[in-house]
Structure formats: C-alpha cells, structure tokens
C-alpha cells in the first residue's frame, strides 16, 4: 500500500514539475461560489468563507490555500447588516486600471438586508512586496422595507469603451446592473439607475441568482443560476445563459425568450454524482475558455467542491460545458 502511494505521489510530482498530463485523479478542492483569475503562471481562486478563502494552482486541478482576504470581516459589515454571521459571500475578482478589484457580499440567509463591499490589491502574489488587501467599504446595499432586489452575488463587467457595471442579485426581483466608476470601483451615481437584466415570473417558486457576464465573439453572455443551492445532494441548482450584443442587454436565450421574462438556456445541471452545479464564473485563458463552478459531490456526502470545465462553442455561438478536469494537465 505504501509503495502504491509512493508511486502515485511520484507521478503527481512528475506531472507538476514537467507539465506532463497525468491520469492520477486529484481529490476536488472544497469550494463554494468560486471566482477565478490568472496572474502570471498562477490561477487564483476566491470562495465564500469567513474571510474569503484564497487558493492558487498552476494546473486548475491541484489547489493550495494561500490565505484569506480578511482576517476578520470589516467592522462596517456588522453595523450595516445586523444579522451578518461573519461568513463573507460570493467574491468576484477583476483587474482594472492597474489594480485588482474584489467585490464581496454580506447578508444573512433568506434576507435582502444585504451589502456589497470592495477590497483592492496591487498583486495577488502573497509573497509580493506590494501585497496588501485594502477594504474600500460599502458599494451598494439593499433594505427589506425599501427595495425589491437583493445586493448580493456581485460581478464586475466592462466593455471596450471603458464602461463598467456591477451586476448582482438573488431571488426577489432578479438580476440588476449599476454603473461603476472604474477609477474608484464605486457607484458612478448614488443612488444608481438600476437596469433589470433577468428575472423569473414566480420569485418564490423559480429562484434566480449568481450572475456572471462573459464576452465571446462580440457577444455578451449572462450566466445565472436557477433554482436551489445549499441542500447538499438535494440541491437542484443549474446554470443557465442568455446573450446580447450590448453589455446592458436585453439578454435572450437560445429560443429568443428575454431573460427578463424568465428566459434562460440550460448549460449545466445535475447528473450522476454531480448535484446542483452552479454559481459559476468564466475565464478566457489563451485559446481556452473555462467554466468554473461549485457542485455538491455525491461521492463525498454532498460536500461543495470545485469543478473546472472547458467551454466549447456551438456553430451558432452558444456555450457548451465540457467534462470536468480531474487530473493535472500540461501547463500552457
């Protein structure tokens, strides 16, 4: 048994050191609400957790924890969201105007008394001289007695004209968008003029959340998650998408149905021991586009783990989720 383990470890080390693909499976890393970006030879993964967990990898399969954004959540989060329990939700990472912008959400389960905050850094290398996360405070918030939307699940999206928008939303009246000043990372106008991007007609029965906008071939694709997460193997979360020629929409699905009227083409849903795949991000990486999401692993009692899949594109320009990466791959 020890000899077999040694052979497996040697195979993995060889694959990592020389960039040779290996058939040795790697246990998927725990993750919920993943966001991903590449800096140099490293992929960095940010996930929901008490201080936002940071992991990194060279091959998108073998991940190691390298720290967290916060040692403790900023003081303002407890003041603005009294029921906040310290778990920071749904980070989003972008590189804009020479610095990294990390948006995050604070809320409590089932409430729309929520806020989206911003933290910034000059580098993601935890050993870099300039490495330091600076909290920039609240960007936008929602209140139960005032708003029919929920300020969680942020995603920053931009176009070629340097226009940036924060996309967000969960349940309630669906997915919204607000203009952002890229120099500050804060709202361009406060209070903002909200744009509605997607909703489902029956909020209670047909949940929608976790927006992510990805550009491909001069089209913008709005990924969202339908139905329910966070129930282990009983989760029926699924990833849906619509597209638009304009960043601000309108977005329609493959059948032409507007996402503001409940439209959305399913990209990935439960199968075999993959339960409730959802809350995805996407990454353009050289010649490959990656779909990054969590799922509830039926082989591990419903644990939330990371999956990374290549995106293929159909002849008519729609995303198709490929099989998940399960073993180290050659570093490109």
Which residues are part of the catalytic machinery? 33, 209
* Phi/psi-derived region of residue 11, left when phi > 0, alpha when psi is between -120 and 50, beta in every other case: alpha
CB 65 within 8 A of CB 54: yes
Strands 303-313 vs 319-321: parallel, antiparallel or unpaired: antiparallel
Q: What are the CA-CA distances from residue 109 to residues 84, 167, 241, 318 (Å)?
A: 9, 20, 25, 33
Q: What is the C-alpha to C-alpha distance for residues 26 and 306, in angstroms, rounded to an integer?
A: 12
3 state DSSP class of 199: coil
User: Cα separation of 252 and 308, whole Å?
Assistant: 25
The first and second tokens of residue 281, run together, are 């991000």
User: What is the Cα–Cα distance from 270 to 293, expressed in whole angstroms?
Assistant: 13
Residue 74, token pair as written in the block: 């900023």
Residues 267/321, Cβ–Cβ less than 8 Å:
yes
């Amino acid at each position: 048994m020890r000899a077999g383990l040694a052979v497996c470890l040697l195979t993995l080390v060889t694959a990592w050191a020389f960039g040779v693909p290996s058939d040795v499976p790697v246990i998927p890393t725990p993750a919920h609400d993943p966001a991903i970006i590449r800096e140099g030879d490293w992929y960095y993964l940010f996930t929901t957790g008490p201080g936002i967990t940071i992991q990194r990898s060279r091959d998108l399969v073998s991940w190691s924890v390298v720290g967290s954004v916060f040692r403790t959540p900023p003081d303002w989060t407890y003041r603005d969201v009294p029921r906040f329990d310290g778990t920071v939700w749904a980070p989003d990472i972008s590189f804009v105007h020479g610095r990294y912008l990390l948006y995050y959400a604070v809320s409590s389960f089932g409430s729309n008394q929520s806020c989206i905050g911003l933290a910034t850094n000059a580098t993601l290398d935890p050993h870099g001289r300039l490495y330091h996360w600076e909290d920039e405070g609240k960007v936008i918030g929602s209140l139960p007695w005032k708003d029919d939307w929920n300020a969680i699940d942020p995603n920053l999206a931009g176009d070629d004209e340097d226009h940036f928008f924060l996309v967000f939303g969960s349940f309630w009246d669906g997915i919204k968008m607000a203009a952002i000043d890229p120099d500050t990372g804060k709202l361009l106008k406060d209070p903002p003029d909200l744009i509605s991007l997607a909703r489902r007609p029956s909020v209670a029965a047909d949940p929608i959340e976790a927006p992510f906008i990805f550009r491909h071939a001069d089209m913008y694709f709005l990924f969202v998650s339908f139905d329910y997460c966070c129930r282990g193997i009983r989760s029926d979360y699924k990833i849906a998408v619509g597209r638009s020629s304009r960043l601000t929409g309108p977005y329609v699905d493959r059948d032409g149905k507007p996402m503001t009227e409940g439209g959305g083409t399913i990209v990935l849903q439960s199968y075999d021991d993959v339960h409730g795949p959802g809350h995805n991000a996407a990454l353009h990486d050289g010649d490959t586009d990656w779909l990054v999401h969590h799922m509830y692993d039926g082989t591990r009692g419903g644990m939330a783990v990371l999956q990374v899949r290549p995106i293929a594109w159909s002849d008519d320009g729609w995303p198709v989720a490929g099989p998940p990466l399960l073993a180290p791959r050659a570093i490109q």
